[in-house]
Amino acid sequence: MDYKQKISLSDTVFAQEVDGEMVLLDMNSENYFGLDEVGCSIWQFMQDKETLGEIYESMLAAYDVEPERLESDLHEFIERLKNAGLLKIEK
């Protein structure tokens, strides 16, 4: 993972919290995506932090989690949203 990458939700995504979980609507495809508990946490940190490195560091400080496990969860989250066209990634 390139920790200098800036990531944010694409402009075509409508995000809504429902009963503590996040539901994302891709306005282009009109598909809905649900985020699990881990996804919700990453999404929350994405609101305040710009780069992947900042998100990683903040989450590592906030949660009692192994660095390798966090890196793997972050990687999976980013790949899933990127493949669905829901993320805006800038170098």
Partner 1 sequence: MNPELQFLINCCQTSPAPEIVTAMRSQLTAVNSVWLMTTGQLAHSHGVFPLFHQSLKSYAADLIPQEILQRLQQQYLDIVRHNMMLSAELIRIMKLLADNNIAALAFKGPTLAQMAYGNIALREYGDLDVLVQKKDIYQVDSLLKTQGYQRYLKLTPSQEKIWFDRAHDLGLYHPDKSVHFEMHWSLMNEDHPIHLEFTEIWDNPNPVTINQQAINTFANEELLIYLCVHGSKHLWERIEWIKDIDLLARSEEIDWNKILEKVKGSDFEIMFFLGLYLSRRLFTTEFPHMITERMAVYKELPNLYDAIIAKKWSDKKSGSLISNLSRTYTMLQLFPYPKMRLLYLHNIFLKPSFNEYWLIDLPESLHWFYYFIRPFMLAKKYLKNWCLAKKR
Minimum CB separation from partner 1 for residue 17, in Å? 8
Which of residues 10 and 60 has its CB atom nearest to partner 1 in the complex? 10
What is the Cα 18 distance to its own chain's centre? 17
Residue 74's Cβ-count burial label (10 Å; 0-12, 13-18, 19+) is buried
62 is a contact residue toward partner 1 (CB under 8 A): no
Give residues 21-40 in contact with partner 1 (rule: CB under 8 A): 23, 25, 27, 30, 32
Q: Which stretch binds partner 1 (CB under 8 A): 19-27, 53-61, 65-73, 82-90?
A: 19-27
14 is a contact residue toward partner 1 (CB under 8 A): yes
User: Do the beta carbons of residue 74 and residue 87 sit within 8 Å?
Assistant: no
Report the C-alpha gap between 82 and 53 in whole angstroms: 17
Residue with tokens 């919700």: 40
Q: Which stretch binds partner 1 (CB under 8 A): 20-28, 38-46, 68-76, 82-90?
A: 20-28
Report the C-alpha gap between 60 and 86 in whole angstroms: 24
- Residues of this chain that interact with partner 1 (CB under 8 A) are 14-19, 23, 25, 27, 30, 32
